[in-house]
Structure 1
Amino acid sequence: MRSCSRLVRNPQHASFAKRGKRLVCNQAVSASAPPLHQSSSSSSAPSDGKTLRRLILLRHADSDQTSGVRDHDRTISETGRRQASQVAQLLKDKGWTPDLVLASNSKRTKQTLDEMCEVIEELGVVDAHYYGSLYTVAALDGQTREHICDCLLEVIDDVRNKVVMCVGHNKGWEEAASQFSGTAVKLKTASAALLQCYSASWKDVLQESAQWQLVEVLVPAV
């Protein structure tokens, strides 16, 4: 596998703290890159000036179950590499090219993104943030949506960011996709829930009361 050398990243763990039962972001590991040009949606913008905002919730690709390797350090399998390439091609074909990435800092999450860079060249220069807390919170009941929103609000820009991709783990990713859309969503490995909503700002659309439209769930053929 050829690593995408331009992918903006830092391997250090982001810190997090618990307040009661809620995880709170303290720091995102990040670096900035020039914003991408994103082609306009075929949907017409509403007359009130609200902007179409898109959210991709992607589960990491299939990973190896190697004995003696801790869960955080598991690597993606050959099947996972093919899955990541396929879902990247599906996103590219649909014009859903991310201009901001938030991800768990697990090894299999980073390798999933490396494989996707081979297909979506622009993905290699987006602003990417890796959170240790996104790895941790996905295992907890019902907290992932709120934590994703908290992390996004730390770094997102209303003007530059129109298509955001969050990459992580079940069970949290299925729960979050279901809560955002108000419908049950199943995410197999390397599957992506495509969500969209018109709003005046990301702050508005990331409120708990906001209802997103589930456009499609992309599932690799392998």
Structure 2
Amino acid sequence: MSQLRELLILRHGKSDWKQELDDFERPLAERGKKATLKVLRWLEDQKLLPDLILSSTAKRATQTVRRINPDNQINTLYLDELYLAELDTLLQTLAQSPQAQRILLVGHNPGLEKLVSFLAHDQSEETATVETKRFPTAALAVFIMPNDWTQLSAGAGKLVNLIRPRELSVTAQ
């Protein structure tokens, strides 16, 4: 029997919408900073800190990672191809990712939302939750995954948790 792995999918925190900034350069807003701290506290409480982080290179994604990994203790790969990546690119990135027991993928919608729905395919209640409530900023999906990620198919993951910062009672400063 092969060992199961975990995939944590995190959408970047809420960003600032200053018009003079290019989309790629948008930083986290104060709300986004607080939300990502809530997610960090939840990950710590659940003992779900990742072994590896794969992140978009967009400013709001890298700032999200720095809030999740403030001491830079977790191996992190910043990948240009994750900026606004579509489902196929996300699947290819996961297929080529280094072996790690628990990977945190930090990126953007609509790609992450599509990935969550794809991996949770046929898990009616969880999938419906994703589709009806969407995947807001700083949302986190936790999947149990097969060991081999080279050929992920629809329904390959088991969605075990879907966290939205506004639902967390943890206070972040």
**Paired residue for 1:197?**
145
Alignment pair present for 1:101 and 2:53 = yes
Quick check: 1:90–1:218 contact (8 Å CA) kept in 2? no
Measure how far apart 1:155 and its partner are.
3.3
Match of 2:135 in 1: 187
The residue matched to 2:76 in structure 1 has which SS?
strand
CA distance in 2, matches of 1:154, 1:88: 26
- Equivalents in 2 of 1:156, 1:149: separation in Å? 13
Task: Find 1:213's aligned residue among 149, 158, 163.
Answer: 158
For residue 171 of structure 2, what is the aligned residue in structure 1? none
The answer on whether the counterparts of 2:146 and 2:156 sit within 8 Å (CA) in structure 1 is no
1:81 and 2:20 correspond: no
- TM-fit CA distance, 1:210: 5.4
CA distance in 1, matches of 2:115, 2:97: 19
Match of 1:171 in 2: 110
Query: Helix, strand or coil: the match of 1:67?
Result: coil
Deviation at 1:102, TM superposition (A): 0.8
Runs of 4+ deviating beyond 3 Å: none
Once the two structures are superposed, the pairs formed by residues 115-134 of structure 1 within 5 Å of their partners are: 115-118=67-70, 124-134=72-82
1:147 match: secondary structure = helix
Tell me if the contact between 2:136 and 2:164 (Cα under 8 Å) persists in the aligned partners: yes
How far, CA to CA, are the matches of 1:189 and 1:181 in structure 2? 19
Alpha carbons 1:76, 1:108 under 8 Å: kept: yes
For residue 153 of structure 2, what is the amino acid of its counterpart?
E
The two structures have a TM-score, normalised by structure 1, of: 0.66
Does residue 94 of structure 2 align to residue 152 of structure 1?
Answer: yes
**Unaligned residue ranges in structure 2 (runs of 5+):** 122-126, 169-173
Kindly state the Cα deviation for residue 88 of structure 1 after the two structures are TM-superposed.
0.8
1:63-90 deviations in Å (ceiling 9; x for gaps): 1110210000000011111001000111
- TM-score, structure 2 as length reference: 0.83
Identity %: 28
Q: Which amino acid aligns with 2:89?
A: H
Unaligned ranges ≥5, structure 1: 1-47, 138-142
C-alpha separation in 2, matches of 1:81 and 1:135: 19
Larger Cα-atom Rg: 1
Quote how far apart the aligned CAs of 1:198 are. 4.0
The one of 70, 80, 92 aligned to 2:44: 92
Q: 2:13 aligned with 1:61, yes or no?
A: yes
Larger helix share, 1 or 2: 2
CA contact (8 A) 2:84 2:111 kept: no
